[in-house]
Structure 1
Amino acid sequence: MSWIIGRRSAWVVIVLWLAIAAALSPLAFQLPDAQRNDAAAFLPSDAESTRLLAEQRHFPGGDAVPTIVVLDRPGGLTNADRAAAARIGQALRPFASGPVLGPVPSPHNRTLILTVPLAQRDDASAFTDDVREMRRVARPLVPPGAQIAITGPAGLVADAFHLFSTIETLLLLVTATIVAVILLVVYRSPFLWLVPLISVGIADQTAAGIVYLLARHTGLTVNGQSSGILRVLVFGAGTDYALLLIARYREELTRHRDPRRAMREAVSRAGPAILASAGTVIIGMLCLLFGLLASDRGLGPVGAIGISTALITMMTLLPAALVLCGRRLFWPRIPHFGEHPPVTDTARRGPAARTAHAAALAAPTIPGHEDLTEFDLAEEEGRWVRISAAIDRRPRTVWVLTSLLLGALAIGLLAMDTSLRQDEGFRHGVESVRGIGLASADFPPGATAPTYVIVDEGAARATAAILRGSPEVAASTEVGRTGGKAQFLVVLRSRPDSPESFAAVSSLRERLHGLAGAQALVGGNTAVNLDVRRAAERDRQVIIPMVLAVVLVVLVFLLRAVVAPLLLMATVVLSYLAALGASAVAYRWLFGFPGSDPSLPLFAFIFLVALGVDYNIFLMTRVREETARIGSRPGVLHALAVTGGVITSAGVVLAATFSALVIFPLVQLAEVGFVVAFGVLLDTLVVRSILVPALALDIGRAIWWPGRLARANDGFDAGGT
């Protein structure tokens, strides 16, 4: 640590970080270009939809994404409309990687559609530009009174990417503004807030640049969701680490004349908790690597890179900058050496505070704190002393009632609906969704997202018969043969991505798989989303227990106990269920969302459990430190009093940064932002501030079993009931 905060080396650290930020910032702004927002990119290689896509590449234009052009006239199509459709098809032919199908009129002659196979691109921005250019070319060719929309899988992907790319800069500005305002309120200093804000901004640009390089050169899957989460995760977690370190540094400045010695002491005291909390989140994120979905496996490294970068920046750049700026940075509330205001209001603080103070006066000095002759209560904020005293009066009643409240919120899980369709993912109207509505009014709903079937050529006739006889199929036609394979385009009667369409795909697969020698594959957009949902369910079943086990092991090693980690995990899981239940109710009746993404429960779990444990780590490591010094009960009370303000500020920062995701015009990100923000506040204000201290007070030293702290007797462990 000494080399980071040395008189000359601190400048080297700052210059090095500025050089890293300057090199990676241009790459960070290119991160949207590396995104892949189509569901097919998320699937494992052995999924049936993925195998069909591989087979389709052998057909002419087989790697294309269907683009559906919808031309509609409510009063009925005219000859001019049909002629215009032919011209539109001709004008869009340069974009097609295969034959343009149609125009096909609807049964009621109000709508017609053309299918343009648009070549897939690794560059999401270029793909979106192609769709935008197709819209620009087609729009002037529409006769007066008719309306046109370009939709289908290509239109949905292009609209999603466009929204992600346009909101990226706004998200960064909103997140930075939220953090700046909170830091100003917390520190009430015109200068201090700038240091952590600049540090976390450098961490953000560094992390985004690293992720871009990995996405471009290693195949790391990055989509708009993981890109947006990266930004709020770095700002939120980085600011949390800064708040905790600065709070301890300010405390140590009153105990040491030399700011460098104060910083060394602050890092040695707060550093292990910050390192453990960051390590917990990193390990939890990396558990996503065991998922089937590429979106899950991609979010794991993206989140881990973000947290790691935030941790390294806040433990190197921030200490170097703070030490160079000195005490004056805290103006107008500059911490001075020996600043220990007399505790004149101990009597007014109640029996809990008097007990803690009595034990503190009898405690020996701490190595490194030889300049102290009594326990410093100056950092105990009045409100947190009162809260700790209130909990101490009836801890068992408090934790029982709090647990019942969280359990009541968890009942809201009955309202959770994870059947959000792809076209329902936009919070505002976009052309692709409008086109689906126009086509569905006069065509079978599956016309805008065709299903594909590929079989061995010898089974083509039998396959055609099965498709004609399937009640789920509105229409089917053979669209090509190559390499001994035949391909069919199938239009389902049900709306894409609905439970009915998923059941239809499953039924077709069951029938065609039983066809001898067919080697049948059923894919297409609806089949892709069905496979995504099944993979998401499997990932939840595998990753959630894995994260619980890993976090529990980390806590056992950190706290050197078994009972405390088990209790902490139980409280965090209860908090997660309560947050998810309350969010499910809010999604349905407050926001009016049509449903939730199937990956939401897993993402919410990763963030709320890993981040929720963070605040319990910050609290319980201080409780352990104080218990070893002044006893169990006063140690809990004092730890809550001195950490209450800073940990609450950290929780508010993290919740506020995640709430910035609610500005996204996409349901999936808005839902992630709300559940994490609500869950972090619930964990900070209820679980860490009330439930965990009440349990610790009620259980006493036994909470540290089987460690040595559980066997000590300090005479201060009697609590209320």
Structure 2
Amino acid sequence: MTTRAELRQAHPRPRRLLRGILSGVVILLWLAGAALGGPLFGKVDEVSSNERTAYLPDSAPATEVQNALGDFLGSDTLPAVVVFESDTAIDDDLQQQLTDALDDATGAEGVQKDVSPVLVSDDGLAAQAFVPIEADAEVGDIAAGLSADLNKAVPDGVTVYITGPAGFTADLIAGFSGIDGILLLVALLAVFVILIIVYRSLLLPIVVLSTSLFALCVALLVVWWAAKFGILLLSGQTQGILFILVIGAATDYSLLLVARFRDELRATDDKWAALRLAWRGSFEPILASGGTVIAGLLCLLLSDLKSNSTLGPVAAIGIVFAMLAALTLLPALLGLFGRAAFWPRRPRFDPHHADDENPLDGSGLWARLARLIRRRPRLIWITTTVVLAIAALGVTQLDASGVPQSDLVLGASEARDGQQVLGEHFPGGSGSPVYVLVDEEQMQDAADVLLADEGIDGVSVTASDSPSGTAPITSDGVQAFGPPGTPAPEPTVADGRVLLQGTLTVAADSAAAEQTVIDLRAELDPMKALVGGVTATSLDTNIASIHDRNLIIPVILVVILLILMLLLRAILAPVLLILTTVLSFGSAVGVAALVFNGVFDFPGADPAVPLYGFVFLVALGIDYNIFLMTRVREESQRHGTREGILRGLALTGGVITSAGLVLAATFAALSVIPILFLVQIAFIVSFGVLLDTFVVRSLLVPALTYDIGRRIWWPSKLSRTPQQDRALDAHDDTAQTP
């Protein structure tokens, strides 16, 4: 086996030339991948969807109803509810002006012809119309254009709002519109500033950021084409997380390799030998760290909700390319630049530099902290555990039962304002009906159930020969249009079933509307009727999210525990690392709950927020413990367990802290996207990473493992310390302070 001394010998010139050529080839390959993936940043919306029903399980009732709507309503459309609010009563002349304005504004491509008549409210101060927009059209652009055209065309004193499913979809599209631009810009700028402070160099931050950006470009290339061919589902939410995850992870892995490279340059005159030593020392922790994150992310494949299950492979692809870039592109760049990459603080070769130089003798922060832990380990780990446990009590204050669709977008929302106006003048659920799919012979029985429910204002049945496409249905049956004696329209029948539509008395995204759907499903179950629509979709999404959360969190814990056992060749250390990481997660969520409720006054949280927070904090938080404990194990084999713990902390403190700051900054960048879910994830993960970096990994884990001593490696051979190390441990035991 090649020794470190042999590796540090200068390589012959032909070999150095070959390494230079190989590095150039690697860089060119990554450049080619980035050239293909870079232009796709502005085209992600071509292969992504923010339609919530697209992510429900195929077996969900709302999904089955959604899939059948085309048989009754024609082409797949997304209804926009146009609300006109007037300062004065709307008479026949004003109603005609509104109709003319609507006719002129709805001639755009993507808007279907069968726009409903303008219906005036009972109080005469508002009117509404339903505009069907093709689901595969540019819903955001059409809704914005429709709003602008109508506001110009209506008389003074009339305000126009675009709401309903199309209005809220347009809000989401507008909210996600900054992902390709402002999100990337903020994330990269934050990382660049941190790297400048860490390295006090201009070239090295550019090298590291280039590695992260190239990894993202190639990952996007793979993900984009996978979504294009229908292999993966992609949404704005998944896209934003992919961007942040790749930049943060690739930068973290790069920091680890760069730190090793800088250390080796001090002891090695030849840059290629130093690079090889640094690569060998970084390969295992980077691979273990990335593998742990990938394993945790792939556990999301167990999810019923496709927005969760599709995030797993998408994010895993990103982590794969983050690792590949850190282990191939970055070494190639560092090999070409050598010591010049660190200018103006180039590491100088010191022939007297020794591998076993004691890092605890220094005056730096991490050396001082290691010496403090040596003096008071038990007091430190008990105190930090108590503080974290108190913070974790706030978890009980987190309301993660779901939020109304109208609260998904933060800031101003025309759709939200329009829904409020709609509820003041019409039944709150206008434009977002409850759909009931039932056998034809049970149509009247199902209609009677809907009519008897206090949450339903009126019921109609889809009828193609009706002027409006639907016909009202009462306890006496389908009602006729026109003068007495006119025959009632025939309901549209598809596969022996009819489609009933119930108008909700309250807003479709309210808790009361969800309860109405729950009650209707219970009463209609004997008829095997299916209940769908906007409200049912939200309800089924929340049910699936809660199921996923309860199933996947324990599975992730078991998977990561097994990986740690294999990596550290021990049982006790992995168990304790998992417990400390879970405690850190609980503390982060507890503090987040108090901030969400007391500072930001958020309306609640999606059930997936704790799941996503857990996946990222546990999978990424365990990264830092892997970086620490792999170095601790390496040092323990040479210096004994307790000395190895302190050395590992002193040697990795700076790089892991820098990595934590980078990851926290990148996730914090998610908060620039005005989507409630992403803002909450940004806070939980950013705060949790900082907590894990500065408290758990810096204080709790080192102090706890130091207090336990060599038994931390049980049952591996390392737990049975040689005689000279037992003497050291015995000496340390006498210094413990209860």
TM over 0.5: yes
1:505 equivalent to 2:487? Answer no
**1:106 maps to what in 2?**
121
Q: Please list the CA deviations of residues 243-289 of structure 1 after superposition, one character each: whole Å capped at 9, or x if unmatched.
A: 11000111111122211111111111121001100110011111111
1: CA distance, partners of 2:316 / 2:696: 25
Q: Is the 8 A contact 1:31 1:211 kept in 2?
A: no
Other structure's SS at 2:202 match: coil
2:384 partner letter: T
> What's the CA shift for 1:79?
2.9
Q: Is the 8 A contact 1:5 1:260 kept in 2?
A: no
> What's the CA shift for 1:96?
4.6
1:464 partner letter: A
**1:45 maps to what in 2?**
58
The answer for unaligned runs of 5 or more in structure 1 is 341-370
2:675 partner letter: L
Correspondence 1:129-528 to 2 at 5 A: 129-338=141-350, 372=354, 374-377=356-359, 382-418=364-400, 419-480=402-463, 481-483=492-494, 484-515=496-527, 519-528=528-537
Q: Please list the CA deviations of residues 295-329 of structure 1 after superposition, one character each: whole Å capped at 9, or x if unmatched.
A: 00111111111111111011101001101111122
1:443 partner letter: F
Other structure's SS at 1:486 match: strand
> What's the CA shift for 1:219?
3.8
2:38 partner letter: S
Other structure's SS at 2:20 match: coil
**1:697 maps to what in 2?**
706
Q: Is the 8 A contact 1:456 1:485 kept in 2?
A: yes
**1:365 maps to what in 2?**
none
2: CA distance, partners of 1:675 / 1:158: 27
Q: Is the 8 A contact 1:632 1:716 kept in 2?
A: no
User: What is the Cα-based RMSD across aligned positions, in Å?
Assistant: 2.0
2:656 partner letter: I
Other structure's SS at 2:657 match: helix
Q: Could you say if the C-alpha distance between residues 523 and 339 of structure 1 is closer, same or farther in structure 2, counting changes exceeding 3 Å?
A: farther
**2:654 maps to what in 1?**
645
> What's the CA shift for 1:394?
2.1
Q: Could you say if the C-alpha distance between residues 583 and 381 of structure 1 is closer, same or farther in structure 2, counting changes exceeding 3 Å?
A: farther
Match of 1:709 among 700, 714, 718: 718
Q: Is the 8 A contact 1:3 1:10 kept in 2?
A: no
2: CA distance, partners of 1:150 / 1:73: 15
Task: Identify the range of structure 1 (655-664 vs 709-718) with the bigger mean alpha-carbon deviation.
Answer: 709-718
Match of 1:584 among 582, 585, 593: 593
- Relative to the length of structure 2, the TM-score reads 0.90
> What's the CA shift for 1:496?
2.4
Other structure's SS at 1:593 match: coil
Q: Could you say if the C-alpha distance between residues 281 and 579 of structure 1 is closer, same or farther in structure 2, counting changes exceeding 3 Å?
A: same
Task: Identify the range of structure 1 (384-393 vs 274-283) with the bigger mean alpha-carbon deviation.
Answer: 384-393
User: Where has structure 1 moved over 6 Å in runs of 4 or more?
Assistant: 1-5
Q: Please list the CA deviations of residues 369-406 of structure 1 after superposition, one character each: whole Å capped at 9, or x if unmatched.
A: xx737425399561111112222222122111111111
Aligned pair count reads: 685
Task: Identify the range of structure 1 (324-333 vs 539-548) with the bigger mean alpha-carbon deviation.
Answer: 324-333
Q: Could you say if the C-alpha distance between residues 437 and 5 of structure 1 is closer, same or farther in structure 2, counting changes exceeding 3 Å?
A: farther
Q: Is the 8 A contact 1:26 1:209 kept in 2?
A: no
> What's the CA shift for 1:22?
0.8
1: CA distance, partners of 2:87 / 2:446: 37
> What's the CA shift for 1:63?
2.2
> What's the CA shift for 1:13?
0.7
Q: Is the 8 A contact 1:559 1:565 kept in 2?
A: yes
1:546 equivalent to 2:555? Answer yes
Q: Could you say if the C-alpha distance between residues 62 and 474 of structure 1 is closer, same or farther in structure 2, counting changes exceeding 3 Å?
A: farther
**2:466 maps to what in 1?**
none
> What's the CA shift for 1:339?
6.1
**2:40 maps to what in 1?**
27
Q: Is the 8 A contact 1:381 1:642 kept in 2?
A: no
Q: Please list the CA deviations of residues 601-646 of structure 1 after superposition, one character each: whole Å capped at 9, or x if unmatched.
A: 1100100000000000000001101111001111111111111111
**2:575 maps to what in 1?**
566
1:462 partner letter: D
2:226 partner letter: L
2:516 partner letter: A
Q: Please list the CA deviations of residues 433-479 of structure 1 after superposition, one character each: whole Å capped at 9, or x if unmatched.
A: 12111111222221242221121111111122111111121222223
2: CA distance, partners of 1:4 / 1:545: 51
> What's the CA shift for 1:534?
0.3
Q: Could you say if the C-alpha distance between residues 329 and 605 of structure 1 is closer, same or farther in structure 2, counting changes exceeding 3 Å?
A: same
2: CA distance, partners of 1:413 / 1:38: 30
Q: Please list the CA deviations of residues 75-100 of structure 1 after superposition, one character each: whole Å capped at 9, or x if unmatched.
A: 43233331133224534276554743
2: CA distance, partners of 1:99 / 1:468: 27
Identity over aligned residues, as a percent?
Answer: 41
1:654 partner letter: L
Q: Please list the CA deviations of residues 56-87 of structure 1 after superposition, one character each: whole Å capped at 9, or x if unmatched.
A: 11113252222111111144323333113322
Q: Is the 8 A contact 1:93 1:100 kept in 2?
A: no
Match of 2:565 among 553, 556, 569: 556
Q: Is the 8 A contact 2:37 2:218 kept in 1?
A: yes
- Relative to the length of structure 1, the TM-score reads 0.92
The answer for unaligned runs of 5 or more in structure 2 is 1-6, 8-14, 464-491
Match of 1:9 among 22, 38, 48: 22
